[in-house]
C-alpha cells in the first residue's frame, strides 16, 4: 500500500516545536509519515493521537504504545479527546491533502485519469457518493459546488450540461462524466478543468469544508497556551479558512475587539510568509507543488 510522501515533513515537525513529554494530534494520519516524524521527537512519556476516516490507513499504524489511532473524521476531535480524558494538546498537525494511495486506488474513483465508479468517499462507510451528487443533486446545487469548491468560471455550463444529459441515463463512471463534459474542455485546459471539477465533487462528497470549519473552531479550546497549530492546505478555499483563524481568531475572518478597541486575538503566526515546497521536493513528489504550510501559536 503506497501513500504519498509526507509533504514538507521537516518544516511541519519543526513547526510543532515538540516537547518530549507533550501530547500531540495528527488529524490526517494517512501513511503515517508525519506521525512518525512526531514520534521520533517524542520521549517515552509523550503521546500522539492520530485520526483518519479512511479505514485503510489503520494498516499503517506502527506498533508503538505512545500512539492511539482513531478511525474517525477530525471534526470530532474534541469529542474523542474527552473520551480519552485528554484535556489539552500541545500541538495539532493537519495535512489536508488527499493521499496518493486514495488517488491511485482505482476503485475509489478520485481521479479523472482512470475509469472507475464515481465514488470519491474518504470514509467508505458513508452513504453519499460522487454518483449520487452528479445524478441526484438539483442543477442549482451542482452550480454551487462547481463555483464554490472548484472555483470554475464556467460552472453554470458544466451544471447545465450534466443536468441535461443525466435525464437520458444515469452517470455511473468517471469516463461517463468526462464524455459528457468533453465539449466544455479545450485541449489546453482539459486537465486543469477536470481537476477543478473532480475536486469540487470530492469536497462535497466528504463535506471537507464543513469538517475543516468545525475542526478549526475547536482548536482554541483544545490547545494549551503556546500550543502549535500546523496546517498544510492545497487550495485557496482551505487556506483562506486557516489564514482567517490565525489572523482573526475565527474562520470567517471577522476581527473582534474588546471595549477599548484592542483586537481579541487567539493565535499568532509563527511563519509570517507561507511555507511552500522547494524545487527539489516538487521534483521528488510532484503532488506537493500546491502545498501551503501555515504555523500558528496559541497566545492566550
What is the reported pLDDT for 1?
Answer: 46
What is the reported pLDDT for 100?
Answer: 62
Specify the length of the chain in residues: 300
Neighbours of 40 (CB within 10 A): 9
Query: pLDDT of the chain along its 300 residues, tens only?
Result: 445 579 999 999 999 999 999 999 999 999 999 999 999 999 999 999 999 998 888 999 999 999 999 999 999 999 999 999 999 999 999 999 876 666 667 778 888 989 999 999 998 889 999 999 999 999 999 999 999 999 999 999 999 999 999 999 999 999 999 999 999 999 999 999 999 999 999 999 999 999 999 999 999 999 999 999 999 999 999 999 999 999 999 999 988 888 888 888 899 999 989 999 999 999 998 888 999 999 999 997
Best CA proximity match to 73, nearest among 251, 214, 228: 214
What is the reported pLDDT for 15?
Answer: 98
The pTM assigned to this predicted structure is 0.92
C-alpha cell at 300: 492566550
CATH 3.50.50.60 applies to domain 127-205: no
What is the reported pLDDT for 98?
Answer: 77
Task: Write the DSSP symbol of residue 266.
Answer: S
What is the reported pLDDT for 300?
Answer: 77
The CATH number given to 9-100+208-298 is 3.40.50.150
Alpha-carbon Rg for the chain, nearest whole angstrom, is: 20
Helix residue spans in the chain (DSSP H): 9-16, 33-41, 77-83, 100-104, 130-136, 139-148, 155-165, 174-181, 190-205, 208-222, 236-248, 279-284
- Strand 89-95 and strand 23-26: pairing? parallel
Domain ranges of the chain: 9-100+208-298, 127-205
Amino acid at each position: 500500500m503506497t501513500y504519498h510522501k509526507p509533504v514538507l515533513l521537516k518544516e511541519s515537525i519543526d513547526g510543532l516545536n515538540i516537547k518530549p513529554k507533550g501530547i500531540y494530534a495528527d488529524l490526517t494520519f494517512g501513511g503515517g509519515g508525519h506521525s512518525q516524524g512526531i514520534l521520533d521527537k517524542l520521549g517515552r512519556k509523550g503521546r500522539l493521537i492520530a485520526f483518519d476516516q479512511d479505514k485503510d490507513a489503520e494498516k499503517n499504524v506502527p506498533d508503538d504504545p505512545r500512539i492511539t489511532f482513531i478511525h474517525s473524521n477530525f471534526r470530532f476531535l474534541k469529542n474523542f479527546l474527552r473520551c480519552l480524558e485528554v484535556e489539552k494538546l500541545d500541538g495539532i498537525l493537519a495535512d489536508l491533502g488527499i493521499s496518493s494511495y486514495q488517488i491511485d486506488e482505482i476503485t475509489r474513483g478520485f481521479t479523472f485519469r482512470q475509469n472507475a465508479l464515481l465514488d470519491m468517499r474518504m470514509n467508505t462507510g458513508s452513504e453519499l457518493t460522487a454518483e449520487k451528487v452528479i445524478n441526484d443533486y438539483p442543477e442549482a446545487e451542482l452550480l454551487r459546488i462547481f463555483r464554490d469548491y472548484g472555483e470554475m468560471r464556467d460552472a453554470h455550463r458544466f451544471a447545465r450540461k450534466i443536468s441535461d444529459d443525466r435525464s437520458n441515463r444515469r452517470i455511473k463512471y468517471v469516463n461517463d462524466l468526462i464524455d459528457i463534459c468533453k465539449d466544455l474542455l479545450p485541449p489546453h485546459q482539459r486537465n486543469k478543468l477536470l481537476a477543478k471539477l473532480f475536486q469540487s465533487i470530492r469536497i462535497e462528497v466528504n463535506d471537507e469544508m464543513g469538517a475543516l470549519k468545525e475542526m478549526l473552531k475547536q482548536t482554541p479550546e483544545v490547545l494549551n497556551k503556546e500550543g502549535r497549530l500546523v496546517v498544510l492546505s492545497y487550495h485557496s478555499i482551505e487556506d483562506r479558512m486557516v489564514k482567517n483563524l490565525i489572523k482573526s481568531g475565527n474562520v470567517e475572518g471577522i476581527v473582534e475587539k474588546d471595549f477599548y478597541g484592542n483586537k481579541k486575538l487567539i493565535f499568532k503566526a509563527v511563519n509570517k510568509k507561507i511555507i511552500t515546497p522547494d524545487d527539489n521536493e516538487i521534483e521528488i513528489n510532484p503532488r506537493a507543488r500546491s502545498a501551503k504550510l501555515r504555523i500558528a501559536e496559541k497566545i492566550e
